[in-house]
Amino acid sequence: MQPGVRIGNKNVLHSGLLILNDDEPAYIEIRLPLGAAISSDVIKIEFRCPPTPDALTKFVWRSDPDGVVRFELSGFKSNQWGVVLPDPVQFGFQNGRPLFFQFVYTRVSEKNIVQFMVLQEEPQP
């Protein structure tokens, strides 16, 4: 089954909205291929917004030996307009095709609001 949303040359594999307390982890699991009864691959992502001084603005990610890709976003709380990555960040491959992560971050009251997408590049013809 093909994803129903495509942006440019990328299929949106998964998208969602996270409402998180500071340092509260969110776990995202995507089974591929989409719609299959038995998956051949699983993408595991952990996302968190650790509390840090606003001066330490950063977005970092790492792939750990346990197979989980971990994303951390910190220091954006004072930006009243929110933050978006200028371009999706490539974080891996699945079936030889690049995987990307894109997000929009805003802060409402004491909550971190993160809208995200996991994308995969279309195969080349």
The count of structural domains within the chain is: 1
Q: Which domain holds residue 60?
A: 6-121
34 falls within a domain: yes
- Tell me, yes or no, whether 58 lies in a domain: yes
Domain-located, residue 15: yes
The predicted model gives 97-108 an average pLDDT of 90
Tokens of 44: 């595991």
How far apart are the C-alpha atoms of 1 and 91, rounded to whole Å? 23
DSSP code, position 123: P
Report the DSSP beta bridge partners of residue 68: 44
Q: What is the pLDDT of residues 6-62, one digit of tens each?
A: 899 999 999 999 999 988 999 998 887 666 555 568 888 999 888 776 666 778 888
Say how far apart CA 70 and CA 67 lie, in whole Å: 9
Question: How many CB atoms sit inside 10 A of residue 69's CB?
Answer: 19
Q: pLDDT at position 38, please?
A: 56
Q: Decide if 103 contacts 87 (C-beta within 8 A).
A: no
What is the value of pTM for the model shown?
0.82
Examine residue 1 and state whether it is found in any structural domain, yes or no: no
Give the chain's length.
125
